[in-house]
Amino acid sequence: MTNRDKILNLLIDGSEDWVSGEHISNLLGISRTAVWKNINILKEMGYSIDSSSKLGHKLISSHNVLNKREIQSKITTDILGCEIVYFEETDSTNIRAFEMAVSGAPQGTIVVADSQTMGKGRLSRKWFTDPGKGLALSMILRPGVQPLFAPRLTLLTAVALSKVLDRLGIGDYEIKWPNDILLKGKKVSGILSEMKADIDSIEFVIIGLGINLNTNSADLPEEIRYIACSLKEELGREISRAQFLAHFLESFEFLYLQFLSGDFSGILEQWIKKSKIINKKIKVTILEKEIFGTVSGVNEDGNLILITEQGEFIVNSGDINYI
């Protein structure tokens, strides 16, 4: 354990109390200057620590800290997080996870990054991850089912996320087909599922989740500032990124085991309830093509059943707008 870890442990043990620099320095056998240096590094890492030359140091909050240690200390799942790969910065956690899965990384491996330089959305679109505030997660799954069942995992992910929002007391959200979570019409989260498969079975699926947790939307790039929002803005308080991640993994694992046991109808039912899409009039854009109709249902594969002037139409990909 490094001196920095030992200092952090002392502050955590001290809970709400001041821990003097002298006490830390005596206990660890290091100079007061070394204590200050390490405290400053902890602050840079996102720990909110009050320091006073008279009283010492006091840990205020670790809400914005996201690192392997914080994640490990919070997660309770058996499969997910069996291996944790953390990057302060990477191109895209989905790209990293895909490469790891090709090299044989086990099911349940999670890849988390504080910042992404090439965060991916669908159809080569970009996902922006706010460093120190957002969450970028990719999970490696090896469900051993036929590829046609893969879209169910995207729906399952949205349901898992909805459980965490319920737990936080956020009522006013909606799942927007196929993969967004909206709060009062603004996007707070997106899901990107990718897979490697042959005709008969899936080798692996990468589920990527991006979510704005403690983000101020004013700090987001201009092009998304007005269409995006964050959980902090909705709740009026910051939330612990590591704790949020742990709760999400817990919900996801529960539903994933249900999916593996062959029971998907209950998950779909929950998805439909949270999506509020049934009976809505929509425009679907599939590449260059636009289709108008009313949603009459969602089938077991997560496809929309659309009633158009030309008859029933099954939508399995695309972007939708309510009209």
Provide the greatest CA pair distance for the chain. 80
Cβ–Cβ under 8 Å, residues 271 and 281: no
* Residue 283 in contact with ligand BT5, rule: CB under 6 A: no
**Residue choice 62, 64, 107, 138 for contact with ligand BT5 (CB under 6 A):** 138
Closer to ligand BT5 by CB, 8 or 245: give it.
245
Considering only 47, 86, 127, 256, the residue that binds ligand BT5 (CB under 6 A) is: 127
The identity of residue 115, as a single letter, is S
- Residues between 61 and 80 with contacts to ligand BT5, criterion CB under 6 A: none
Total residue count of the chain as it appears in this document: 323
- Which residue do the tokens 């330089």 mark? 117
CA 108 – CA 80 distance, rounded (Å)? 4
Please name which of 207, 193, 239 lies closest in space to residue 79, comparing C-alpha atoms.
207
Q: 129 with 112: CB under 8 angstroms?
A: no
- Residue holding tokens 């803005």? 233
Helices 32-44, 3-13: crossing angle, 10 deg rounding: 80
* # residues near ligand BT5 by CB under 6 A: 28
Q: Is 210 in the site for ligand BT5 (CB under 6 A)?
A: yes
Q: Which is nearer to ligand BT5, 5 or 219 (CB)?
A: 219
Q: How far is the CB of 122 from ligand BT5 (least distance, A)?
A: 4
Task: Name the one range near ligand BT5 by CB under 6 A: 140-148, 158-166, 190-198, 289-297.
Answer: 190-198
Query: By rule CB under 6 A, what string of x and - marks binding of each residue 220-239 to ligand BT5?
Result: ----x---x-----------
Q: Give strand pairing partners of 87.
A: 113
| Residue 190 binds ligand BT5 (CB under 6 A) | yes
Please state, in angstroms and rounded to a whole number, the distance separating the CA atoms of residues 148 and 141: 15
Q: Of 94 and 109, which has the nearer Cβ to ligand BT5?
A: 94
* Site residues (CB under 6 A) for ligand BT5, limited to 9-28: none
Residue 136 phi, psi dihedral angles, 5° rounding:
-125, 115
CA-based nearest residue to 252, from 317, 149, 161: 161
Which of residues 39 and 112 has its CB atom nearest to ligand BT5 in the complex? 112
Task: Quickly list DSSP for 201-222.
Answer: -EEEEEEEEEEESS--GGGS-H
Quick one: which segment of 35-43, 134-142, 251-259, 307-315 binds ligand BT5 (CB under 6 A)?
134-142
Strands 289-298 and 319-322: unpaired
**Residue pair 143/153 in contact by the 8 Å Cβ criterion:** yes
Residue 182 contacts ligand BT5 per CB under 6 A: no
Cα–Cα distance between 234 and 214 in angstroms, integer?
10
Q: Could you say which of 142, 187, 280, 283 contacts ligand BT5 (CB under 6 A)? A: 187
Which range binds ligand BT5 by CB under 6 A, 160-168, 184-192, 268-276, 297-305?
184-192
Q: x-or-dash pattern for ligand BT5, window 84-123, by CB under 6 A?
A: --------xxx---------------------x--xxxxx
Write out the residues near ligand BT5 by the rule CB under 6 A. Answer: 92-94, 116, 119-123, 125-128, 136-138, 179-180, 187, 190-192, 208-210, 212, 224, 228
